Structure 1
Amino acid sequence: MPSSADPAPPSVDFTAIDFETANRFLGSPCAVGLVRVRGGVVVEERSASMRPPRTRPDFDPGHVRIHGITAGSVAGRPLFDELWPRIEAWILAEDPDELVVAHNAAFDMGVIRSACAETGTRHAPLSYACSLALARRGYDLPSYALPRAAEAAGVPLRRHHDALEDARACAGIVVDLVRRAGVATVGELLSGAGLTVRRLLPPP
Structure 2
Amino acid sequence: MPMDFTAIDFETANRSSASACSVGMVKVRDGRVVDTASWLIVPPSPHDWFSEWNTRIHGIEAHHVEGALGWAEQFDDLIDFVDGDVFVAHNAGFDMGVITSACSASDLVVPEHSYVCSLSVARRTYSLDSYKLPVAAMAAGFEGFRHHDALADAEACAAIMVHAGRRHGVESILDLAEITRSRVGRIGMALAPVEVAVA
Q: TM-score, normalised by structure 1?
A: 0.90
Structure 2: gaps (5+ residues): 192-199
The CA deviation string for residues 116-148 of structure 1, in whole angstroms up to 9 with x for no partner, is 111101121011000000001101001000000
The equivalences for 1:68-147 within 5 A come to 68-92=59-83, 96=84, 98-147=85-134
Q: Give yes or no for contact 2:45–2:105 (8 Å, CA) kept in 1.
A: no
Q: Shift of residue 54 of structure 1?
A: 2.0
Query: C-alpha separation between the residues in 2 aligned to 1:157 and 1:164?
Result: 14
Is residue 2:15 matched to residue 1:28?
Answer: no
Contact kept, 8 Å, 1:150 with 1:157, in 2: the verdict is no
Q: 1: CA distance between counterparts of 2:120 and 2:144?
A: 19
Between the aligned residues of both structures, percent identity stands at: 46
Which one of the candidate residues 157, 168, 190 is aligned to 1:181? 168
Task: Give the counterpart of 1:61 among 45, 52, 60.
Answer: 52
Distance (whole Å) between structure 2 residues aligned to residue 188 and residue 203 of structure 1: 23
Tell me, in whole angstroms, the C-alpha distance in 2 between the residues paired with 1:145 and 1:17: 16
Stretches of structure 1 that go unaligned for 5 or more consecutive residues are 1-9
Deviations 1:49-106 (A, max 9, x none): 01101211110000000000000000011111111111111111xxx3x111000000
Taking only aligned residues, the RMSD between alpha carbons, in angstroms, comes to 1.5
CA apart distance, 1:203: 9.4
Quote the Cα distance in structure 1 between the aligned partners of 2:172 and 2:47: 39
Quote how far apart the aligned CAs of 1:157 are: 4.0
User: Contact between 2:137 and 2:156, CA under 8 Å: does it hold in 1?
Assistant: yes
Residue 159 of structure 2 aligns with which residue? 172
Distance 1:103 1:200 in 2: 16
- Which letter maps to 1:184? E
What residue in structure 1 maps to residue 195 of structure 2? none
Moved segments of 4+, more than 6 Å: none
| Aligned partners of 1:135 and 1:144 also within 8 Å | yes
